[in-house]
Amino acid sequence: MTVKIYEVNKEKIMNKDNIEEQVLKKINLILSEFKDYEQAFVDFKGDIIIKNKVKKTSKKEKLILTNIFKEIIANDIKKNRA
């Protein structure tokens, strides 16, 4: 009895893996038409991940811009108080 249950569960797992593989192939086929995306993959949680190839700005660049605006606003406030 336990052997049959094991075989059924094993078959279900194999079917699930096969379906996931087919889905990924189809997604990657579609993504191959777009240059801005990397190939899809399944992460450790089972989510399908599609990464964008476009380079993002670094946090350092954003901080510099944020600090510049903070200084401009602070100087404007000082001028308005005087």
Domain locations along the chain? 2-81
Residue 40 has pLDDT above 80, yes or no: yes
Both tokens assigned to 81: 């108080």
CA atoms of 31 and 61, how far apart (whole Å): 30
Q: Which position has the higher pLDDT, 45 or 54? A: 45
Q: Which residues pair with 41 in a beta bridge?
A: 49
Residue 31 has pLDDT above 70, yes or no: yes
Q: What are the pLDDT digits (tens) for 55-67?
A: 766 676 778 888 8
Four-point Cα dihedral 74, 78, 80, 81, nearest 10? 130
